[in-house]
Structure 1
Amino acid sequence: MTTILITGFGPFPGAPYNPTERLVRALGSVRRPALRDVTIVTHVFPVSYAAVDRDLPALLAKHKPDAVLMFGLAARTRHIRIETRARNALALMPDATSASLRRSQIVRGAPAALPLPAPVRHLLAAARQARLPAALSPDAGRYLCNYLCWRAAEAAGKPGGPRAAAFVHVPLTARGAQARRGGRRFAAHDLARAGTRILLALAAAARR
């Protein structure tokens, strides 16, 4: 069996609705012949540095996933972003618990960036097969998404860690009447369609 951990984030200041929560729930219930031998574990992180540091190691130790597929919200982006690296950088902006790490680097003295061990071009192709705009991105920001990217990349580099760690930034989605009017480019079912294709591509890579 192949195990894939799929994660998202809850709401945070400036984003009272985070579409990755719904997306992660949807992907947790996906049933496809190509996923018959795949165990899917889902988790939604509170937008908190402490939660990432507490929950990620616990999830990896308990489930020992072969791959981690992480989703985060990029509210100002109008396309899907497949991240290629984590930056050793921190913003001063507090998390959803009003806490900040009060330093400019995640790990002092570490490299400026860590590559994310993921088949990013395959994931990009999968997202585009869903007929949605998508691109590779070398900059996951300096907030919780990037922080999780860094911690996952660290874990993947250790013995017994996941073989692949992928991070996907998604745009805001339309909701309710706005979705019916076509007020935004993306709706929840669009993200679910793209997310499913990305999951299938990562599962295929994790088996190899």
Structure 2
Amino acid sequence: MKKLLLTGFEPFLHFPINPTQQIVEELKGSEMNGYRIEGEILPVDFNRSGKEIKKHIDRVRPDAVISLGLAGGRDKVTPERVAVNWNESSEKDNEGNTPDGEKIYSQGPDGIFSTLPVKEMVQVIKKNGFPSEISNTAGTYLCNHVMYQVLYYFRQQNRSTPSGFIHIPASHELAVRHGNLPSWSLEDLAAAVKAAIEVVTYD
């Protein structure tokens, strides 16, 4: 059976829980759209997250990769169109790093487009009754960092493995604990991710 590497992140900043971690743990080991889901949780650390996901790729040898990230404040599920070759944040990662504007790879391209079917993902998520739209910026924090790391890694290896990133809103549980955030039920967040996986094809 084909394998899909699904990643989430640990809690970070002022968010005491991370629904991406909960979704990955829920879907890990399940089968959908011809894939077995291999789930991994990444550290919120500029120095380690890229290395960790590449280790998982080398171990799993996935046929597709989807990374999930929390976008606290967004009210839609948003597949990301492009990753940029840039780290910059005034907010610390979980190890205290605050990159002040630097390329992820000095010789890498300025941007790399997702190789996931982002338009089809939005269509199927909406067809299932959930709000969704393509996002044209993954920011310059860890989500963009991981997305770029994966896309650049596959490009260096001349591999056409479908890969990219999806941002999700807060869960109700997180909104209650954090306050003042648009939120979905964890069940609906997981259902939207499952719907997105259903349109990821492979050779």
1:37-186 matches, cutoff 5 A: 38-92=35-89, 93-159=91-157, 161=159, 163-175=161-173, 184-186=182-184
Identical columns (%)? 24
Aligned CA RMSD, in angstroms, stands at 2.2
Could you tell me how far 1:19 is from its partner in structure 2?
A: 0.7
* Unaligned 5+ runs, structure 2: none
**Which amino acid in 2 is paired with 1:22?**
Q
Distance change >3 Å, CA 60–CA 176, structure 1 → 2? closer
The answer to whether the 8 Å contact 2:75/2:182 transfers is no
| CA distances 1:86-125 after superposition (whole Å, capped 9, x unpaired) | 0122223321111234443222353321111111111111
| CA distances 1:67-103 after superposition (whole Å, capped 9, x unpaired) | 1011000001111111011012222332111123444
**Which amino acid in 2 is paired with 1:192?**
A
**Farther off after superposition, 97-106 or 137-146:** 97-106
What is the aligned partner in structure 1 of residue 23 from structure 2?
23
**Which amino acid in 2 is paired with 1:6?**
L
1:3 correspondence with 2:34: no
The answer to whether the 8 Å contact 1:8/1:24 transfers is yes
What is the aligned partner in structure 2 of residue 14 from structure 1?
14
Distance change >3 Å, CA 30–CA 126, structure 1 → 2? farther
CA separation in 1, counterparts of 2:174 and 2:136? 33
Runs (4+) off by over 4 Å: none
Could you tell me how far 1:184 is from its partner in structure 2?
A: 5.0
What is the aligned partner in structure 1 of residue 186 from structure 2?
188
**Which amino acid in 2 is paired with 1:45?**
L
**Which amino acid in 2 is paired with 1:156?**
F
CA separation in 1, counterparts of 2:57 and 2:20? 20
The answer to whether the 8 Å contact 1:60/1:161 transfers is no
* Unaligned 5+ runs, structure 1: none
The number of aligned residues is: 198
TM-score of the superposition, structure 2-length normalised? 0.88
CA separation in 2, counterparts of 1:91 and 1:120? 25
Could you tell me how far 1:49 is from its partner in structure 2?
A: 1.6
